[in-house]
Amino acid sequence: PVLAAIEGDEINSKKGPVFATAIIAGVMAAKKTHELIPFCHPLGLEKCDISIRLDGNKAKVRCRCKVRHKTGVEMEALTGASVAALTIYDMCKALSHDIVISDTRLLSKSGGKQDFERLE
């Protein structure tokens, strides 16, 4: 039922455009990570880009954050992606309760104490 609601690269629900709303929610969440997760520092994000693409019957969410600071920004990116995924769930749950959110993970980071890149 969810895939039937796809129009181009967007899913429209009774609540509105799902992916566009999820991107806004994810950016808002990334900016508030320090309010949600204990011991995270408030960071002035220079950039927070969230992309959502359909891959078969999955919506893949990516969040890229950038900041000039001594600490890494991976928690902001993970929070942004997670809240974007939760927003997709919330807006599509009337279409199906079989939606699964899975595999939230860090793909890469640079800066902070050490750089990291996941080899896939």
Q: Could you tell me what percent of the chain has a pLDDT over 70?
A: 92
Q: What are phi and psi of 89, to 5 degrees?
A: -60, -50
What local confidence, expressed as pLDDT, does residue 3 receive? Answer: 67
What local confidence, expressed as pLDDT, does residue 76 receive? Answer: 95
> To which CATH superfamily is domain 3-114 assigned?
Molybdopterin cofactor biosynthesis C (MoaC) domain (3.30.70.640)
Q: Helices (H) and strands (E) in the chain — how many of each?
A: 3, 7
Three-state DSSP class for residue 37:
coil
pTM of the full structure:
0.88
Q: How confident is the model at residue 103 (pLDDT cuts 50, 70, 90)?
A: very high
Q: Which tokens hold the place of 75?
A: 């928690």
Active site residues: 90
- Between strands 10-13 and 6-7, the pairing is antiparallel
Closest CA to 76 of 111, 36, 117: 36
Lowest mean pLDDT among 8-12, 13-17, 56-60, 84-88: 8-12
Q: Where exactly are the structural domains of the chain?
A: 3-114
